Amino acid sequence: MNTTHQGQSKKTALITGAADGIGYELACIFATHDYNLVLVDRNGPKLVEIAVQFQKKFGIFVKAIVKDLSISTAPEEIFTELQLADINVDVLVNNAGFGIYGLFHETDLAAELEMLQVNLVCLTHLTKLFLKHMVKQGEGKILNVSSAAAFQPGPLMAVYFATKAYILSFSEAIANELEGTGVTVTVLCPGSTASAFHERNRDG
């Protein structure tokens, strides 16, 4: 979903997992602060609906990108699409994620590999792609959504908790590396929230 012009005077925030929960609420906050938005989610109909609503309500440019972030090529496809559209991302919000519940020796490996791709690999890949340009231009912000789960092991959600610990450690490390560059990295560690996370969080 696009408007006919981007509104280059405004800054742009890219938010993954933007159709529900924390991602949607963050999109609302950025919109109220007059940011243009790039919203990414696998739920196409809902994402397009949100884009239309936000454009009408806030008078901003909204680009909806429907992607399944469990597919390894998704980050590069998102980055390339925005380059071709000449859209500069000033704020990257890596929010998308899901969990799997159960005993590790009984849970489904394929589902867990998808979770690793979404929660961990995609986040790292998108950060790598957009961070280089932010450093080059001397400004930018990255918000990585971790969890209170990052601070302890999680029996019955062992891999999920581990992905969130990675996000916390990774974010703190690169935040230190980026001191003095004009680019900041923040990690958000919320507790349990009402969102579609609990619908996708599944057994085995």
Q: What is the pLDDT of residues 72-104, one digit of tens each?
A: 999 999 999 999 999 999 999 999 999 999 999
Catalytic residue among 24, 35, 101, 160: 160
Q: What is the pLDDT of residue 189?
A: 97
pTM value > 0.75: yes
Residue 62 has pLDDT above 50, yes or no: yes
Q: What is the pLDDT of residue 162?
A: 98
Distance between CA atoms of residues 65 and 77, nearest Å: 10
Q: What is the pLDDT of residue 91?
A: 98
Distance between CA atoms of residues 56 and 68, nearest Å: 26
Residue 154 has pLDDT above 80, yes or no: yes
Q: What is the pLDDT of residue 192?
A: 76
Distance between CA atoms of residues 151 and 104, nearest Å: 19
The answer to whether 160 is a known catalytic residue is yes
What is the per-residue pLDDT across 166-201, written as a single tens digit (0 to 9) for each?
999 999 999 999 999 999 999 999 987 655 544 555
Q: Which of 190, 117, 196 shows the shortest CA–CA distance to 151?
A: 190
Q: Which two tokens stand for residue 98?
A: 């899901």
User: With bands split at pLDDT 50, 70 and 90, how would you rate the model's confidence at 203?
Assistant: very low
SS3 (DSSP) at 179:
coil
What is the per-residue pLDDT across 99-136, written as a single tens digit (0 to 9) for each?
999 999 999 999 999 999 999 999 999 999 999 999 99
| Structural domains in the chain plus CATH codes | 12-191 (3.40.50.720)
What is the per-residue pLDDT across 10-38, written as a single tens digit (0 to 9) for each?
999 999 999 999 999 999 999 999 999 99
Residue 5 has pLDDT above 80, yes or no: no
Residues in the chain: 204
Judged by average pLDDT, the poorest of 2-16, 39-53, 57-71 is: 2-16
Q: What is the pLDDT of residue 202?
A: 43
SS3 (DSSP) at 176:
helix
Distances (CA, A) of 143 to 43, 95, 124: 22, 8, 12
